[in-house]
Structure 1
Amino acid sequence: MELRHLRYFIAVAEEKSFNKAAERLYISQPPLSRQIKQLEEELGVVLIDREQRPLKLTEAGTFFYDHALQIIKKSDNLRAMTMRKAHFDGAISIGFVASMLYGTLPRAIARFRKVYPNINIKLHELNSWQQTQALTSGKIDVGFGRLLFDDASVRRIVLREESLVVALPLEHPIMQEQRSSIDLADLVNENLQLYPKLPRPGFIDYVLGLFEARNLEPTAFTEVSELHVALGLVAAGEGITIVPKSLEHLRDKEVGYLPFADGQLTSPVIMNVRHFDKSALLSTLLDVLYEIYEEEGVTHTREAI
């Protein structure tokens, strides 16, 4: 069985016609039919019910189709990642979620530039899920996000856990009480401004998951496009939001920030790289991040590329 057999079968399965599949593959219909027949003989099963019009997959064919898609995707990803690796020495593409720009990442990139002054650095704002796709397609070489996703092609390095804080209008009754901290349960009846609305899944889903894990359900929340919109609405007295601690200096003349009482509500800071990528560039970037954490006394865990 070869990859071309899988591609041929996928085309027939999706087009539901040997003729249309042959046109899509730019081959004639008879050799395509023979290739699919050979595939069925090799497997010892019938994959396509040829008596149906349009063609219909058998139960075994449906199973084979789903797995064939995964194999072809992995093959295409491997090709893209390998091609990207071949051009890695002269440039590095970095994906990031917006909140990372208020933490250590800008300082790390600036210090990295001093180590590699001739490297072309390209930055892409991508959410955590988009970073996974961009890594496997070869668009980026490393990503910095806040959500964990399972993907065999991507390794997640949790750099640290960053505390979350609540952003409230300065005139909010809770702020007037001059509290030193707040509980997640205190927010259930507040108008939450959660972000980003799209793309999903995103930080909004992570925050909602914090409530769900504690058997809490917000009575009202609004989905807004991005972090700055959420903070703008908080400043206007339209509700509250939850942000990483590194953002607590934003709009501080209009917005107050309170930590959570238990200190346990955090957001992971994650470095996403392709599995088995042992590049010296990535290793240096990771070392630079750890250096800054140590200089600033930031609690973190240390891993190697």
Structure 2
Amino acid sequence: MELRQLRYFLKAKELLNFTEAANQLNISQSTLSQQIKQLEEEINVPLFNRIGKRITLTEAGLLFSEFAFQSVSRANDGLIMMKDLNNLNVGSLSIGVTYALRNLLTRALILFSEKFPDIKVKIVFGTSTELIDRLNSTELDFVLTFREQADDVHLRYRSLFSSPMTLVVSKNSNIAGRSSISLKEIMDLPLAFPDSGYSTIQFINNLLKLKKLKPNVLVEINDISTLLELVKTGVWNTILTQVSVDDIGLSTIPIQGKNMLREATVISLKDAYQKKAAEAFQNYL
């Protein structure tokens, strides 16, 4: 059973004349008759009574017409929706983001929503590890996080910008005005670190292990907002990317050395279809 056959049947039902129906459909009468005959053979029941040149609906034809109408109507609705989707008038988007890039995401979301107000956007915060897991299970359309050196071949990476690693201190700290600081100096400071699930701390821990340095970590926490509040007290310090910090109560000091830049990146599944809404949002990013 083909959608085309249902459309032919409905036009013939409307006009009760094969010749006129064929003319309106811009096909030959023989084509129309043949397609309706094939439809009748498939459902094994006549839809029309054929009396000379006249046709009338059978009881089966009357009952079948409601099904045919619903099928064609639903198909037309689907086509309209796909056209709207392609024009970014409807649809949904699920985005994973790490805390450090929340401000970037917020600014892009405002611009995107002004342009495409009917696209529903779901934002999920989490560690890079959590978000990549959800991306792999297709719960997210893409993830906004920092790129790791070891790239997964099944993922697509789109670089946005780089941000330096910094020591974050209270604005009242006696070292707040320094232009830079070494990792070795940081080891003597009381530190509060993000939970090990965050890519930033994984990055730092790998560097410290390589340099055989041991940090004085007194607090470990899985909430970055609370972590920054702790640092503002002046009792603890932390290490984060500069882009993570936008609080007037805090100061950032760039960390000396090579490989102290983190690359903000959009990550998506390489072989999955990328929604037009996802492409548009990434352009705003």
With the length of structure 1 as denominator, give the TM-score of the two structures. Answer: 0.57
Match of 2:163 in 1: 162
2:236 is aligned to 239
- The SS at the match of 1:218 is coil
Q: Which residue of 2 aligns with 1:145?
A: 145
Aligned length: 196
Higher relative contact order (CA 8 A, sep 6+): 2
Q: Tell me how far 1:158 sits from its aligned partner.
A: 2.8
251, 254, 257: which one pairs with 1:259?
A: 254
Structure 1 counterpart of 2:140, one-letter code? I
Q: Contact 2:193 / 2:217 at 8 angstroms: preserved in 1?
A: no
Aligned to 1:213: 210
- Alpha carbons 1:147, 1:203 under 8 Å: kept: no
Q: 2:62 maps to what in 1?
A: none
Q: Which residue of 2 aligns with 1:280?
A: 276
Distance in 2 (alpha carbons) for counterparts of 1:221 and 1:209: 19
Q: Which moved more, 1:261-270 or 1:231-240?
A: 261-270
Shift of 1:205: 1.6
Letter of the structure 2 residue corresponding to residue 272 of structure 1:
I
Identical-residue share of aligned pairs (%): 20
Match of 1:271 in 2: 266
Structure 1 residue 97 and structure 2 residue 83: aligned?
no
> What's 2:173 paired with?
172
Kept after mapping to 2: 8 A contact 1:195/1:224: yes
Counterpart secondary structure, 1:210:
helix
Per-residue Cα deviation, 1:76-130 (whole angstroms, up to 9, x for no partner): xxxxxxxxxx9x961111111122113x221112222233222111111122112
Aligned counterpart, 2:117: 117
- Native 8 Å contact 1:163 1:263 kept in 2: no
Measured on the aligned residues, the alpha-carbon RMSD in Å equals 2.6
**For the structure 1 residues 164 and 201, does the alpha-carbon distance in structure 2 shift closer, same or farther, using more than 3 Å as the test?**
closer
**Do the aligned partners of 1:147 and 1:206 also contact (CA within 8 Å) in 2?**
no
Letter in 2 for 1:168: V
- 1:133 paired with 2:130, answer no
The answer to whether the Cα contact below 8 Å between 1:135 and 1:154 also exists between their aligned partners in 2 is no
CA distance in 1, matches of 2:243, 2:151: 27
Structure 1 201/243 Cα, relative in aligned 2: closer, same or farther at 3 Å? Answer: closer
- 1:237–1:155 Cα change, 3 Å: same
Runs of 4+ in 1 over 6 A off after TM superposition: none
Determine if contact 2:94/2:142 at 8 Å carries over to the other structure.
yes
**Corresponding residue for residue 192 of structure 1:** 191
Cα displacement string for residues 151-209 of structure 1 (whole angstroms, at most 9, x for unaligned residues): 4442232322212221123443423xx42222222101112211035xx2643222212
User: Please, which runs of 5 or more residues in structure 2 have no aligned partner?
Assistant: 1-84
| Secondary structure of the structure 2 residue equivalent to 1:174 | coil
- The answer on whether the counterparts of 2:170 and 2:237 sit within 8 Å (CA) in structure 1 is yes
What amino acid is the match of 1:160? F
SS in 2 for 1:164: strand
Distance 1:249 1:123 in 2: 20
Is contact 2:200–2:240 with CA below 8 Å preserved after alignment?
A: no
Cα offset, 1:150, TM superposition: 4.6
